[in-house]
Amino acid sequence: MTKPNMQPFPRKLKRFGKTLFLLSFLLVVCQRGLAQETQEITLEKTLTTKLTYQCFVTTPKGYKDDTAREWPMILFLHGGGSPKPEKLKNSMRWLTDLPAIVVVPICPPSEEGWQFQNWNWKMLGELVREIDRQYQVDPKMRSVIGFSMGGSAAWELPYHEPKLFSKSVVIAGLCHPWSLRHFPKIPVWDFVGEKDYMRKEQEETVSSARRFGVDVVQTTWKDADHGGIFKNAQSYQRMLDWLVSNEDLRREEVLELGPPIPPPDNHSLNQQIPHVSGDLNSHRSASFIGVRFTICFPDEK
């Protein structure tokens, strides 16, 4: 009787170990093939942005009589859209009646579409410095005031240019909380319309500003919508006086809505540009000066 061919136990164990090792190796290879892979890619491009701002600069009465005197400077930033230069110039007497150098740029449209139009803080900062070089500006009395898109810029611009401005007036504007966290130590007067469709967001901006220690006072216009608040701000003498005063005239209050301002010649203006009636030639300011300001700088994209 023949005995079965039986291999020694150690030889079977050795063969089993080889098989187990081979299966483990194949499993690792398969897992590597299915695993996510992360690669590092570097993209380098040189982009250049060229912007041209058409500006109106108004000097006050007596400006040329005293070459040693320094005057307050007011930078006004309009709302969305690109207003026609002549209408914008003729509608700004509510500011140009003040004893100050008033700078009113026009925001150019965006090449990407109307919804991407916005004020460029680099451009505005360079504009203010250029005005400083060419005019008798009091460096301690520079203020920025804006409505809607310009109101948001009146929040953002001092954050980007913390040494340029001594005060800011925000009319129906918003701001990202990150900018408020690093806002400079300057006073802000914020105006909100009770019926503004963006009122909640504007009030949230003020709440965030206060949480980060910003010196802000909010005034609300009763029954005012988005456009109505600006039409009343232009005739609010207390706010206008504050722009050229060292006294803190701000008030936390609710104001009654004043009578509407009639449009010129029965033609309506863009709502962010108020109309002021009268002959521009009889204006008590010395002159309107049209300026085209162009700058090229590397884009941050």
| Six-digit token string for 195 | 């019926």
Q: Which helix (H) or strand (E) holds 145?
A: strand 137-147
Query: What pLDDT score was predicted for residue 299?
Result: 53
Give the separation between CA 168 and CA 80, rounded to whole angstroms: 19
Give the separation between CA 148 and CA 198, rounded to whole angstroms: 10
Give the separation between CA 299 and CA 44, rounded to whole angstroms: 12
Q: How many CB atoms lie within 10 A of CB 37?
A: 6
The strands making up 71-77's β-sheet, listed across from edge to edge, are: 254-255, 216-221, 188-193, 167-171, 137-147, 71-77, 101-106, 48-59, 287-298
Give the separation between CA 224 and CA 236, rounded to whole angstroms: 14
pTM of the model: 0.75
One-letter amino acid identity for 107? C
Topology of domain 49-298, CATH:
Rossmann fold (3.40.50)
Q: With both helix axes pointing from N to C terminus, report the angle between 121-134 and 149-160 in degrees, rounded to the nearest 10.
A: 70
Query: What pLDDT score was predicted for residue 260?
Result: 47
Give the separation between CA 109 and CA 123, rounded to whole angstroms: 14
**Annotated domain spans of the chain:** 49-298
Q: How many CB atoms lie within 10 A of CB 138?
A: 16
Query: What pLDDT score was predicted for residue 267?
Result: 28
User: Does residue 190 contact residue 219 with C-beta atoms inside 8 Å?
Assistant: yes
Per-residue pLDDT of the chain (301 residues; tens, 9 = 90+): 555 555 555 666 566 666 767 777 767 666 665 667 888 899 888 877 777 888 999 999 999 999 999 999 999 999 988 788 888 887 888 999 999 999 999 988 877 777 788 899 999 999 999 999 999 999 999 999 999 999 999 999 999 999 999 999 999 999 988 889 999 999 999 999 999 999 999 999 999 999 999 999 999 999 999 988 888 898 899 999 999 999 999 999 999 876 544 433 322 223 332 322 223 233 334 444 555 655 554 554 4
